[in-house]
């Protein structure tokens, strides 16, 4: 998780006691020089042929997210858990309910806490 988002990282030297982030399989070439390990050229986990490809839901596309990491991005117009909801996020409904709940709670607290 420390290298999440490091999609353009192509060369990394780590101590011999550690392995390359994401494992040695996440890199095209892993060599040792002296007391360090050199990890070069990240592999794309989305189109790996040796293992099963990254499991994304039907309405999503796989995108690399760092060494040995991938993320599933919903294709338009899908959103939500496992990209099962179609359309756009109901912003107006969400903000309306949140605003009404906040206003109601504020009025209730003001009415009970005011002094006569």
Separation CA 112–CA 14 (nearest Å): 61
So what's the pLDDT on residue 57?
A: 86
Rg (CA), the chain: 24
Separation CA 42–CA 56 (nearest Å): 20
User: Is a pLDDT exceeding 80 seen at residue 24?
Assistant: yes
So what's the pLDDT on residue 25?
A: 85
So what's the pLDDT on residue 90?
A: 83
Q: Which residue has the higher pLDDT, 14 or 47?
A: 14
Mean pLDDT, rounded, of the chain:
87
Separation CA 41–CA 25 (nearest Å): 11
Contact in structure between 41 and 14 (CB atoms under 8 Å) = no
pTM of the predicted structure, to 2 decimals: 0.60
Domain ranges of the chain: 11-85
Percentage of the chain exceeding pLDDT 70: 91
Tell me which of 9-13, 43-47, 64-68 is least confident. 43-47
By the 10 Å C-beta count (0-12 exposed, 13-18 middle, 19+ buried), 90 is classed as: exposed
Tell me: the pLDDT tens digits for 49-105? Answer: 555 456 788 889 888 888 888 888 999 888 888 888 888 778 899 999 999 999 999
């Amino acid at each position: 998780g420390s290298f999440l988002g490091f999609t353009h990282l192509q060369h990394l030297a780590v101590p011999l006691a550690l392995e390359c982030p994401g494992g040695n399989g996440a890199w095209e070439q892993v060599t040792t020089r002296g007391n360090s390990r050199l990890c070069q050229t990240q592999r794309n986990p989305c189109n790996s042929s040796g293992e099963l490809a990254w499991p994304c839901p039907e309405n999503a596309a796989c995108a690399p997210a760092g060494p040995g990491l991938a993320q599933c991005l919903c294709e338009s117009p899908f959103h939500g858990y496992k990209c099962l909801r179609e359309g756009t996020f109901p912003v107006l409904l969400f903000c309306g309910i949140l605003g009404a709940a906040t206003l109601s709670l504020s009025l209730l607290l003001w009415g009970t806490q005011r002094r006569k």
